[in-house]
Amino acid sequence: MEAEAMKMLAVGLAAGLGFLGPGLGLGLIGFGAMQALGRNPEARGPILTNMILIGALAEAIGIYALITAIILAIVV
């Protein structure tokens, strides 16, 4: 295989595996929040605040994976 093809394969794997964790994490966050709201609808405010905060942190990890993949595609 050509070196450029191997580089692009590595970039694709880095991005795909890097997005897998945050994607699963966001799904579990939404699932947990919906269950919590179903059990205790009066706690909507704190649940929503915590869900948004943790969701933003999970998204940040996905952005780190995207930046890493872009750097690998350009530099290496």
Q: Per residue in 56-70, pLDDT tens?
A: 999 999 999 999 999
CATH fold of 17-75: F1FO ATP Synthase (1.20.20)
Quote the CA–CA distance of 41 and 56 in Å, as a whole number: 23
Sign of the dihedral defined by the CA atoms of residues 65, 68, 72, 73, in that order? positive
CA-based angle 56:60:63, to the nearest 5?
135
CB within 8 A of 69, min separation 6: which ones? 11, 12, 14, 15, 18
SS3 call for 9: helix
Give the predicted TM-score (pTM) of the model: 0.79
**What's the start-to-end Cα distance of the chain, in Å?**
16
pLDDT at 20 (0 to 100): 94
Q: Per residue in 5-50, pLDDT tens?
A: 999 998 999 999 999 999 999 999 999 999 999 999 999 999 999 9
Extents of the domains making up the chain: 17-75
